[in-house]
Structure 1
């Protein structure tokens, strides 16, 4: 049984002394391809585990016999506390965790300041598993880049606390969570979850890849997400929304957003006479912001429309030539500024298996072909020399 195996390894880990030779700082579950599985457990641990040097834990299971369950992860947490300061990867995929197990993982997360990859897929978090300990611990996991939560039974309600923490900022207006890749496929999510994710995407500055395939977002969900992507301004690079019953009405706005290669933003500044506008400019390109200036104050209030270095001013209160725009920025008290964020756009969109039908697929092909002159390669529409790809089919 997996629990018996885990107890043996944990007992060996508890008694392990510092100063032992370390060959590989990894703790893995026993599988036939594991070269250590035939050795005495304690001897194996002495070869590749050391206090404070454990960097990779993979206890993922493939059968019920390999599930450690909530009790197993509680034992794991109790033994590993204080010994995982350098842990970078934790995989507890399909190990029979319930909501209590997710809370235990939250306890462990607080001890893992260097954790970069966390995979808890195919466990049963349900609607309560991410609440409390787990999402509170994400506040401290500033190095976490990859979060895998496939098939965790979250449903719409269970997604709420995760979205809350993903859109949170600290006092210095820096994102609290640095997750760049998030997998939420097969979680029974509906249009309500899409609406919530759209609000999160509007302000999230870090997320680059999102997998929400195999859910039930439908047409309304596709429309919500397209709105969130518009507000996201191209920060999200890859979106997998296949198998979501989008049909043409849900897929069309997503493809239209994908076809947009530049993002525009507008801001209005009402400044006191004699004060500066707050931009640091090289020509009309923003290179920085004045500390506590009008632009920085705008950013504090409007995160989805926040201005960053590299943005380019294209219009100021109706003026479009560089000379007129600079003059308006210098003397105008009410400034209506439009900026472009050049080339910041999605690179990969998967909208396959969304019941588009032959007619709907042709409509989207035409939309893409007219707008960007895409070339069809299999079920791929490739753009910009193949650096940007949309996947779609009629099914």
Structure 2
């Protein structure tokens, strides 16, 4: 009964978000121009994500934005919240005492929009495959949720880059909860497959933190000036994600070294998942998150390093197909056998 109402509600929510996010992604241009508000409440360009964008717009680091759509920047809610040049028609720039207007009307589509769409489709497919084909495993439910969350993160990338407030709320909240759900999956998986008992009570405290921060983050959907809160939250999300990642690594190391001599299958699975985790997360962590925390600037933007996450669902697809994680083929054979047996009995 619970699933009867939950699944349709989930599908309706995902479809609704998908329609809106696709509209935002393909209706508004992404320029990759970052701004900061200084102590004099001046909005100045702090960086460009590519030199081609800078040349295309004719802007420079240090340029002051004095008007957006011919109005005060602080009167534009999205600009004031996210400090990004998006969902705008024109900006007025002041440089060395001279003011000039820059039109923002080019609608060229970024390649990462299509890459994120591919990652989303792949993750959703794996999520629903696991959910439908392995209905009686609690760990499989959590693994399905991991891919559902990852797919939703991919869904949010393009609209978040275009200052969509809902996408900002979703992507920040899901980045916090993703490593926790994956850790929860690992605990349940090792318990189901090898009767390995691992502590899990602490996860509920971490889930509580995720819920509280999500509630606070809902203020992004209001007209309030949340720019300062967003800057704090941005670093909090990075730190919490890295903390969750370290918890997963610690769990892997603990299980591997404690049980590697007792179970060779566990050893093989951990090696593959460990490799997938490293390939998927190391570019994001070492080229984006750590440099941001240390120097306030990434070596490579998270928009690009984040796409390495696609390797993670691909590796899990391999584990599932090769029956090292869940034997879906066995389940399908059982379904076929039960169906044929029922038909045979009906004929008799």
**What TM-score results when the alignment is normalised by the length of structure 1?**
0.22
Q: Find the structure with the greater CA-based Rg.
A: 1
**What TM-score results when the alignment is normalised by the length of structure 2?**
0.25
Greater share of strand: 1
Q: Which has the higher contact order (CA 8 A, sep 6+)?
A: 2
Greater share of helix: 2
